[in-house]
Amino acid sequence: MSRLKGVSERDPRAGFKAERRDYGASVPQGLLKAARKSGQLNLSGRNLSEVPQCVWRINTDIPEEANQNLSFSATERWWEQTDLTKLIISNNKLQSLTDDLRLLPALTVLDIHDNQLTSLPSAIRELENLQKLNVSHNKLKILPEEITNLRNLKGLYLQHNELTCIPEGFEQLFNLEDLDLSNNRLPTVPASFSSLSSLVRLNLSSNQLKSLPAEISGMKRLKHLDCNSNLLETVPLELAAMESLELLYLRRNKLRFLPEFPSCKLLKELHVGENQIEMLGAEHLKHLNSILVLDLRDNKLKSVPDEITLLQSLERLDLSNNDISSLPYSLGKLHLKFLALEGNPMRTIRRDIINKGTQEVLKYLRSKIKEDEVSQRDSVIETAMTLPSESRVNMHAIITLKILDYSDKKTTLIPDEVFDAAKSNMITSVNFSKNLLCEIPKRNNFLSSLPEEMESLIKLQSINLSFNRFKILPEVLYRIPILETILISNNQVGSVDPEKLKTMENLITLDLQNNDLLQIPPELGNCVSLRTLLLDGNPFRVPRAAILMKGTAAILEYLRDRIPT
């Protein structure tokens, strides 16, 4: 409609006259023509020092093809073509934008990252339909107050600029969900940020923040808060009231104490490495019921409390480069997939055990828990049945814990008696590890495939195929509907099918560590049900180790950003 309005103010015969217009040699006519049909124009990486006038006027001027073709077939009706809604002019040499920006009022996406912009035009206030604005990797020192007029904005990306302050009225962007202010020069965060009630992700890393406002707790929907690489000495107590918070990054600050999180019941990842934290107490741990990743590396911790066992969901624990000389044996009770201890003056665990990795350390710690060994023996219901390995069936584990455990028997075959003992109970977890099986799926064996009959295990929730010889993720696993955990580390897996994984809506944990993955398909980022994705120890180059260290959410976001559009 905006194009027709522009035409009505001209000579009625304008469409049939040849007008002289400079469309800019750097913008091919075919690209402009396609943009009028699709509503999208991508001019990234064209070495532009200014935006050609034909781009700003694409919705107002009569296109050149109208002067060349008077037959107007159905595909050439330029007056019916759509207004521009997406404009990408990133990776150029733009130093400024003109107020002609107002000629594109239908824009919903404006991407101008990686240029040399020092300011934004005040006319930006007229882009009232804008939902995503990416001005990252420029040279902005200030933001125009007019930016607060963009009330429909959902994503604002300002990272890697030279901002020292935030304009007043910023809280009026009440629809904002994703805000990235990282790698600027901000000394403070306005208390008014608390009014950004729709915000889900806030990145304030690599600034000059010495404190956070207590009012930040007003962001009731915030799930991801990144304050890495600042000058924080404390965090406000009110932070503990953020009930939606799932990911918290506080690495590379000056924190001396670990905050308490009594209300953060959904917190899954806490990164407080590279600080000056000296003590870890029960009060710091007792509320972290959902924590999966705890990063405490490069601090001044001297001990780990027994209450670490409260973190029953914990999968990754990084204690490297502290002053820890011993670990509580109870740590062996946790089902950790990654435990980092290097750089500590450890005296109670031999170096050769630590060098063998996480599972050997946990095994050693468990061997030291004499009381647990006694209580486990007491819990076993004696039966008259003696299996060929001279071991008895743990009926307590079968009946009470719903676990079928026949591990570490060095056997090539699971006796029928084991299955007979379990058939009248609902089993949710099977452990046949550390045997010599060639037909029954489990770890430390020599399997390279699984039988199709496993498809009938419709109640199977967890499977561990680690330390085998699988080259692909077995196809039958994609057809087990409620599978939540797949552990297939230390195999020879060279590829995964992200489309099939996406159909596994209940899959929460996928461990692909130490395989032969040369690349990670970007589409894997669409597997939004994943809460734990472990990829360490593969030969791929991207995502880089720095991304992997940030945890699952960061990995998935990184992959999604690289899905071809």
Number of neighbours of residue 7 by Cβ within 10 angstroms: 16
SS3 assignment for 360-383: HHHHHHHHCCHHHHHHHHHHCCCC
Work out the number of other CB atoms within 10 angstroms of the CB of residue 231: 13
CB-based contacts of 522: which residues, under 8 Å, 6+ apart?
A: 559, 560, 562, 563, 564
Give the pLDDT confidence score for residue 453 in this predicted structure.
Answer: 77
What is d(CA 295, CA 135) in angstroms, rounded to the nearest whole number?
Answer: 31
| Higher pLDDT pick, 102 / 388 | 102
Burial of 439 (0-12, 13-18, 19+ CB in 10 A): exposed
pLDDT grade, residue 228 (50/70/90)?
very high
Cα–Cα distances in angstroms (integers) from residue 476 to residues 403, 450, 481, in the given order? 22, 7, 10
Read off the amino acid at residue 164.
Answer: T
Residue corresponding to tokens 């103010």: 9
User: Rounded to an integer, what distance in angstroms lies between the CA atom of residue 398 and that of residue 379?
Assistant: 12
User: Alpha-carbon distance 489 to 538, whole Å?
Assistant: 10
pLDDT at 16: 38
- What radius of gyration do the chain's Cα atoms show? 30
Mean per-residue pLDDT, 200-228: 94
Is the pLDDT at 498 greater than 50, yes or no? yes
* C-alpha of 542 from chain center: 14
Residue 472 gets which letter from DSSP?
B
Residue 41: strand pairing partners: 87
- The mean predicted confidence, pLDDT, of the chain is 83
Give tens-digit pLDDT for 538-557.
888 889 888 888 889 899 99
Burial class (CB in 10 A: 0-12, 13-18, 19+), 150: buried
Q: List Cβ<8 Å contacts ≥24 apart for 184-192.
A: 184/158, 184/159, 184/160, 188/213, 189/213, 189/216, 190/166, 191/215
What does the pLDDT read at residue 400?
61
Whether the per-residue pLDDT at 366 is higher than 70: the answer is: yes
DSSP code of 37? H
Beta pairing partners, 40:
86
Torsion sign (Cα): 280, 286, 287, 291: positive
Percentage of the chain exceeding pLDDT 90 = 50
Q: How confident is the model over 382-391, as a mean pLDDT?
A: 39
What percent of the chain lies above the pLDDT cut of 70?
Answer: 79
Q: What is the pLDDT of residue 281?
A: 85
Given pLDDT bands bounded at 50, 70 and 90, which one contains residue 334? very high
End-to-end CA distance of the chain: 27
pTM greater than 0.85:
no
